[in-house]
Amino acid sequence: LLEWETALDAEKRLDASLKTMFSTMWPVILFVFLAVLTISSAFPTNSGQFIPVGIAWVVSLWVAYNVSLPIQHKKIDLSPSEQITLRRYSRKIWAFFEEFLCDEDHWLPPDNVQIDPPNGVAHRTSPTNIGLALLANLAARDFGYIPLAKVYTNIEQTLKTLEGLEHWKGHLYNWYDTQTLVPLEPRYISTVDSGNFVMYLMTLKTGLVEILDKPVFDLRCVSGLKDTYTLLLEEVGEDTSEDLKPFGQELDRILSSDEVGGLKTWINLQSLWPAHILNHELGKEGLFWAGNLDRMIRTFHEELQELYPWLTHLKHLETQTILDEQDINNFSIHELAKFYEEGLKSGRFPTEINEFIEPALRKVLDYIQRSEKLQLQLEEIALVTDFLPLFDESRQLFSIGYNVSEGKLDKSYYDLLASEARQASFFAIAKGDVPPSHWFKLGRALTMTKGKRSLVSWSGTMFEFIMPLLVMRNYEGTLLDETYHSVVEVQRKYGLEHNVPWGVSESGFHAFDPQLNYQYKAFGVPGLGLKRGLIQDLVVAPYASFLALMVSPREAVSNISVMEQKGFGGRYGLYEAVDFTSERIPVGSSFKLVQSFMAHHQGMSLMAIDNVVFKNVMQDRMHNEALIKSTELLLQERLPEATTIIPQPEDQHHVTKQRPNELELEKNQFILLDTVNSPIPIAHCISNGQYSVMLTNSGSGFSRFRNICLSRWREDVTQDAWGMYFYIQNLNSGDVWSATYQPCRYSGEDYKVTYAPDQVEFCRKDGNITTHTEIVVSPEDQAEMRRISLTNHSKHDRTVEVTSYFEVVLARQSEDLAHPAFGNLFIQTEFVNEALLASRRPRSENQTRLWLMHTVATEGEKVGSLQYETDRARFIGRGRSLAKPQALDANHPLSNTVGAVLDPIMSLRQRVKISPGKTVRVAFSIGYAESREEVIRIAEKYRDPLSVNRAFELAWTHSKMELRHLNLTAAQANEALSLGGHLLYLSPCRRDVAECIKQNSKGQSALWPYAISGDLPIVLVRVANAEHLDLVRRLLTIHEYWRLKGLFADLVILNEDKSGYVQAFQDNLRDFISMGHARDLLNQPSGVFLLQKAHVQADVLNLICTVARMTFSGE
């Protein structure tokens, strides 16, 4: 049977007060005293020999008391400026919980909030998130950010939700949907999450006991107001802070006097608060901290009125000194209850205020009852959590968890002491679910890294080593103590080696899933972790520095300040992470911010700051729990006298900033062209998956949304003169050129084209002006941006006109080819808010009106107003061409006309002035939508240069996500896209099949029995044995990438295997196709077609070889 003792008995047994020591030892001391007195009387000449014995026994009481006291660690007092830095972040972090712990998520913390890309709130949560969010209320009270009532209300709301959640043997599931409260599949119980959760609940329980004995209104609350006031000043700026000064001066006066100075102080503070600041012209964003401060003042005042309702009536009542507010200013809830009860019973209060005292007493007693109820609930939740089902008794180790969906325990185990799971182990031992021997089964392998000895963890993260310190004490001179200090020092040195802020842990990083959510991974310092590959990434997680505060506060604060100066912060504190891994960073950048906030990292940071500012307050609360006191000896494990150091392979090599193949990858990230003279146009495609842009090295191409052509284009190998163009005219010299080779057909003094997976660039030099054109497709909207940067290398100002031009289609390519003039009749144009709009009227009821917009954003000095043209005939002129259109004649403005035109185009003209040595950017945007409202929204968005610049950043991010999804490098992606020209234009490589063309006697209809329409380009792959499967794999990946980029082709795989009845190779090919994207595209348009040579007629095979744009052979 399980032997146990009550918490009350344990408290009595473990009580180490001087009073308890005396009550235990006095009989012995009395006996010794009497014995010495008796012996001294019998042998007076030798009495001197016995007196020291008596003194020693008396002194033993003092010795026993002192050795029973908790070990006092060396405290490092932070400077006032360091304290301010930390408090600014504690306030920002609490704002995260204030805003996102809400009714929409049933008062559960969302896992994360992603700022950019703006995916917003992730409506899921875990036990660790919940536990830290509950404790955040206690920390907020420590800092003075919320009144007592708010602490109780917040906790009550969350616990009410927890009561309704589905549990397993007392455990919460690993993930819940915060809106439906349904456990997410697979239903899983995480050992580490459950351990974290129950430890935080027990800490909260003892914290609720403690705050009942702390003053309700004291300097903490004033400090909390001051923290928020400081952030408000930063937000509104010096120019608008005049009205706030009296309020700020009163805060400073109170804080400098070291006491609140009376309850009336709070009434005075409220009267000094300029509430009209909430209506400030800065708008919603600028009012964030004003709203928070206003809410704090109101809630504190409401609590003041509930607990001291007589206070506002003192002027109208006869008072006695017993009611002097100074006497009760620092009362706790318990003291206030006693004061009110005794005063009412004794009749000491003036009769006229009894009516105020009675409701105040009821409110005070209500606080006590709510607190006691919450304490019972928290303890019950923690104690009914059964850890034994997660324990492998044969190994004496905890499994990482239990898969409820599959009904089995995971076969991986937590077997290292340096792990965040030691909280679960510690609590399970304390509770009696597992034997203490389990603690000593945890691995204690030591490693030497950068001259420092420490325990080794699995991933080498700050999280694994230090997270338990949030609630578990550190004891100097122990194995864990040495590890804490060694790990922080190694992390610090690792950051210095790489010239980046230090602090590596598990975190988000700059890679994305298809929904543009940041990916998450454990990053560590090589040498501290057993996991391979730690050297390959360099991701700094700011929350790691907050954890390090509990070990090396000065160094951590300094590191936090560095990150703040570098701009790594946002509204709710420092961002999730900063990715310095070179292959995930655009060229020209040194890092990428991971702009999200994760609930558990925010919670850990807040707890760590709370511990540092308030002298390990969370640790003390945890260790004040009797259950924990009985087990804390486990944390006092001394350093072993003899140790074996296990070297970590990655720590034996010099840490390089680039992997060996990284320079090679850098070379192949782009395709660089310096000529337009190529056998066929060299094409490249960029896309967001729906909106696609094709460009050639001459600057021609098309824009499409799915199968809707937005601009007119024709397959023309010789001229290649269809597309979207930009004319630049130097008004000082009269020179005219185009941003690309087409349509002026002049490449300038220097001409370069760069193709990358995310964008296309054209760079040319004409006289003293360099023209740099960058084209991307926005991942957020169905739109493209063409940004033209003009740099003036002369010594004089230059005035330049930039004019865009393209023909509007808004129809399928086949429809436009069939009757372009007829299709043009349905296009209407209009000019709205600095944007040209074009729409195609539906020809039948089942058609939707399609919309196109064209606008411009300028970074630089604009000259004159925006001009526009929608009539092709007016733009080009009679007998003229795009190489020299009428619109580019001197002093020939655009007509600024819109409406129904016979031959519609979209053209905008912006004149800019460029100072010597300066650059002006003119960004033209084109967007598609199926409603007028949506297309106007897109136009308004991309009139802002910031939105354009953001689109360029997101395009790079989206491209990286695509490559990651397909497991492609940038070089492989560029290789795939370089083949696109052969799909779009008739290629000279078709001369290789000249004999097939001569012999062909079949037409397109001969392909139909094989489900091939012949409407799309055909790519033929000829394979014969298993050695050719790698070619099939590569081409299937290329085919999938083409589809993502808007290039559609029929991939025909021809099996030329001559095996007999057993068709193993054909089965292999089917399996290969079924494993990827092609499983739903088999024998579908723009899909994959698997043919066997033996089952296809010879003349049809000849036809396929004839019409194939490209042929690949396994031989």
308-318 pLDDT, tens digit per residue, is 887 766 555 55
Predicted pLDDT at 838: 97
Contacts by 700-706, CB closer than 8 A, 24 or more apart: 700/740, 700/742, 703/784, 703/806, 703/926, 704/1046, 705/782, 705/928
Predicted pLDDT at 853: 97
CATH of the domain at 1105: 3.40.50.2000
Q: Is the domain of 790 the same as that of 900?
A: yes
pTM of the model: 0.79
Predicted pLDDT at 389: 96
Residue 25: CB atoms within 10 A of its CB come to: 16
Q: Is the domain of 697 the same as that of 839?
A: yes
Residue 986 clears pLDDT 90, i.e. is over it: no
Q: What is the mean pLDDT of residues 273-283?
A: 67
Residue 776 CA to its chain's centroid (Å): 24
- DSSP element (H, E) containing 1109: strand 1108-1113
Task: Give the residue from 368, 383, 398 where a domain finishes.
Answer: 383
Q: What is the pLDDT of residues 412-445, one digit of tens each?
A: 999 999 999 999 999 999 999 999 999 999 999 8
Predicted pLDDT at 354: 79
Predicted pLDDT at 2: 37
Q: Is the domain of 702 the same as that of 631?
A: no
Predicted pLDDT at 277: 72
Domain count, the chain: 6
Q: Is the domain of 970 the same as that of 991?
A: no
Decide: 599 and 112 in contact? Cβ < 8 Å: yes
In a domain, 537, yes or no: yes
Q: What is the pLDDT of residues 919-945, one digit of tens each?
A: 999 999 999 999 999 999 999 999 999
Q: Is the domain of 787 the same as that of 685?
A: yes
Q: Is residue 327 very low, low, confident or very high in pLDDT (cuts 50, 70, 90)? A: low
Q: What is the pLDDT of residues 199-249, one digit of tens each?
A: 999 999 999 999 999 999 888 999 999 999 999 988 887 656 677 888 988
Q: What is the mean pLDDT of residues 747-763?
A: 94
Predicted pLDDT at 1054: 93
- DSSP element (H, E) containing 911: strand 904-914
Predicted pLDDT at 80: 92
Decide: 802 and 786 in contact? Cβ < 8 Å: no
Q: Residue 1049 belongs to what domain range?
A: 987-1113
Residue 326 clears pLDDT 60, i.e. is over it: no
In a domain, 647, yes or no: yes
Q: What is the mean pLDDT of residues 613-625?
A: 95
Q: What is the mean pLDDT of residues 553-576?
A: 96
Q: Among 432, 344, 347, which Cα is nearest to 388's?
A: 432
Residue 584 clears pLDDT 90, i.e. is over it: no
**399's tokens:** 């499994």
Q: Is the domain of 516 the same as that of 638?
A: yes
Q: Is the domain of 620 the same as that of 678?
A: no
Cα distances from 1085 to residues 470, 540, 977, 1008, 1016, in angstroms, run 59, 47, 20, 11, 8
Q: Is the domain of 303 the same as that of 437?
A: no
Q: What is the pLDDT of residues 96-126, one digit of tens each?
A: 999 999 999 999 999 999 998 889 999 999 9
In a domain, 1041, yes or no: yes
Q: Is the domain of 203 the same as that of 283?
A: no
Q: pLDDT higher for 889 or 658?
A: 889
Q: Is the domain of 608 the same as that of 627?
A: yes
CA distance 303 to 291: 18
Predicted pLDDT at 274: 84
Residue 515 clears pLDDT 80, i.e. is over it: yes
Q: Among 246, 211, 224, which Cα is nearest to 296's?
A: 224
In a domain, 568, yes or no: yes
Predicted pLDDT at 264: 74
Q: Is the domain of 453 the same as that of 566?
A: yes
Chain position carrying tokens 């077997």: 415
The percent of residues in the chain predicted with pLDDT above 70, rounded, is: 88
Q: Is the domain of 932 the same as that of 991?
A: no
Q: Is residue 681 very low, low, confident or very high in pLDDT (cuts 50, 70, 90)? A: very high
Task: Give the residue from 270, 298, 331 where a domain finishes.
Answer: 331
Q: pLDDT higher for 918 or 978?
A: 918
Residue 655 clears pLDDT 50, i.e. is over it: no
Residue 658 clears pLDDT 50, i.e. is over it: no
Q: pLDDT higher for 1031 or 641?
A: 1031
Pairing assessment for the beta strands 1018-1023 and 1108-1113 based on DSSP bridges: parallel
Q: What is the mean pLDDT of the chain?
A: 88
Residue 990 clears pLDDT 70, i.e. is over it: no
Predicted pLDDT at 10: 47
The dihedral through the CA atoms of 649, 653, 654, 655 has a sign that is negative
Predicted pLDDT at 320: 47
In a domain, 360, yes or no: no
In a domain, 368, yes or no: no
Q: Is residue 648 very low, low, confident or very high in pLDDT (cuts 50, 70, 90)? A: low
In a domain, 894, yes or no: yes
Residue 47 clears pLDDT 70, i.e. is over it: no
In a domain, 582, yes or no: yes
